[in-house]
Structure 1
């Protein structure tokens, strides 16, 4: 009787090694270039909201032109991912319509990669975010590259609290620039009537050092603590 032997799945280590190199290069560029002054300049430039005017749905469709190198599902349309996330949230929380909308819009800021929105480099748009104006926490991925950041040796910025104070509230903290911060600015500067928790989720959903490792909790206030519970719901999907 012939015995069928199942062959193990082959792993292309060249592809995997290339991916790892790409990820590390991303964080190197991100950690070197994301300075307090850089973020302040970007906020001032993009809060003008003078680039494109469109509906939320038009922006969702535009996102299909975006290539996020950090996304493992590069072949899947971005809009499909948005809808799947929103639908999953709707099933679990049918009465929280604001949360469904949050799931739909939270990644729309990735349009920053497109020419009409400035065509910013990947390191200034996607992946993790972190505070500026205080010490870089060791839980931030590839922390070693911060040594080349201009803020690293700045005595005003390199202590635990830096320019902030205990419980000052995350709303008062300058975050690294990316799609989270941009979408937050768009909503805020347009005078959104959505609940404050929506802005919190949009702005901090990539703030992984906080919601995965508890870093920077000393800067949070009570409202932040409550909002964080909802943010973790979105990030589980």
Structure 2
């Protein structure tokens, strides 16, 4: 029987997934996101990429209904599938690191939702803050728990934004995507091409790339973004399985690629 991914209605899905999204929808407000940008985007924590990879051996993503392995296994599964299809080396690297922003849990907190125990500020499908939350989000019944949905500044279709302003002008719910994107954008040695950076930034933005929401914000270049994200999504989503890898065994292949596009020095988180 073919496996069904992202089935949030399955009664076998852990209740923790539903509770995760309830907290996320209730607490990820526009003001919260601005606070997290100010708190976490300081770029003052040097750490080499491979060290960050090893830390994801200690994290299981509570928002994922498909996989309960340490997150580093999902990264290797994605990268290996991209490698098997002989896609460009930079895309293989993106597969390997696309969730690496979850390393935030090392200096996160329960209060922010950025810890091992409280992950609602770090993982899960993201949505736009500062405007109405669409029903294409998983568990849309939680949308009205968000205080911004009672604030006329933020609860209209456009909210604080302009029509067709483009995805890059929007504020998304805080999480590992935006964190890693901003960290790599600040990294002076970063040579990952634009397609790869877009894959990193928007791969969890399911209400847009899979749900069809936010069309009123899109600009011309977002058509390319959608094509890139859907290309990457098949490796992010459909490679999940129970096969596991030894991180050290794949290091000889992937580390030179990482150094090619990110340099040999530390990345500042």
Indicate whether the TM-score tops 0.5. Answer: yes
SS at match of 1:222: coil
Cα drift, residue 31 of structure 1: 0.6
Match of 1:6 in 2: none
What is the Cα-based RMSD across aligned positions, in Å? Answer: 1.9
Aligned to 1:59: 52
> For 1:231, which of 229, 232, 240 is the aligned residue?
229
Q: Is the contact made by 2:20 and 2:63 (CA closer than 8 Å) also made in structure 1?
A: no
Query: CA separation in 1, counterparts of 2:109 and 2:201?
Result: 20
Match of 2:7 in 1: none
Pick 1 or 2: higher relative contact order, CA cutoff 8 A, min separation 6: 2
What is the rounded CA distance, in whole Å, between the counterparts of 1:80 and 1:143 in structure 2? 30
- Per-residue deviation, 1:80: 2.8
CA distance in 2, matches of 1:220, 1:147: 24
Give me the whole-angstrom Cα distance separating, in 2, the residues matched to 1:22 and 1:83: 25
Inter-CA distance 79–148: structure 2 relative to 1 (3 Å threshold): closer
Q: Give the equivalent residue in structure 1 for 2:171.
A: 174
2:158 and 2:86 mapped to 1: Cα distance?
Answer: 37
- More helix, by proportion: 1
Aligned match of 2:139: 142
- Structure 2, unmatched stretches of 5+, are 1-9, 236-269
Whether the 8 Å contact between 1:112 and 1:118 is mirrored in structure 2 is no
Task: Give the count of matched residue pairs.
Answer: 218
Work out whether residues 47 and 189 of structure 1, in 8 Å CA contact, stay in contact via their aligned partners in 2.
no
Q: In the TM superposition, what are the counterparts of 1:121-132 in structure 2 within 5 Å?
A: 121-132=118-129
Which of 21, 25, 30 lines up with 2:15 in the alignment? 21
The answer on whether the counterparts of 1:106 and 1:202 sit within 8 Å (CA) in structure 2 is: yes
Contact between 2:56 and 2:72, CA under 8 Å: does it hold in 1?
A: yes
1:92, distance to aligned residue in structure 2 (A): 2.0
Checking the alignment, whether the CA contact within 8 Å between 2:130 and 2:154 is kept in structure 1 is yes
CA shift for structure 1 position 73: 2.8
Q: 1:92-131 counterparts in 2 under 5 A?
A: 92-94=85-87, 96-114=88-106, 116-118=107-109, 120=114, 121-131=118-128
Aligned pair partner of 2:63 in 48, 61, 70: 70
Question: Bigger radius of gyration, 1 or 2?
Answer: 1
Q: Please give the per-residue CA displacement for 1:64-104, whole angstroms capped at 9, x wherever unaligned.
A: 01122233332x3432321221121122243x222111111
Which of the residues 179, 186, 189 maps onto 2:186? Answer: 189
Q: Which residue of structure 1 aligns with residue 72 of structure 2?
A: 79
Query: TM-score scaled by structure 1?
Result: 0.85
